Amino acid sequence: MADRTVAELRQKIAQAHEVIAHLIEKAAYNGAEAHRALDYFGSDAFDRNFLPWPHPEEGLRPEDLNAANDD
């Protein structure tokens, strides 16, 4: 059962990678963050701090952040 779950999760990650690539292409967005996301979701590595905003248990959620202050 565990091997099947791992295999299905790997397939789901591969699907996520394809969806992200398609959305980036459709939006004609080719920035560094887009490539960072594709690289991350295309690898087996896990980075707890991948998201550019605090974790829910740390307070602010993405919609609470002021994107106008991004550089």
For the chain, residues with pLDDT lower than 70 are 1, 53-71
pTM to 2 decimal places: 0.54
Query: Which residue is associated with the tokens 């202050």?
Result: 69
Q: What is the pLDDT of residue 37?
A: 85
Q: What is the pLDDT of residue 5?
A: 92
From CA 8, how far away is CA 54, in angstroms rounded? 28
Look up the domain containing 54 and give its range. 2-69
Task: Count the domains in the chain.
Answer: 1
Q: What is the pLDDT of residue 8?
A: 92
Q: What is the pLDDT of residue 26?
A: 84
From CA 6, how far away is CA 51, in angstroms rounded? 22
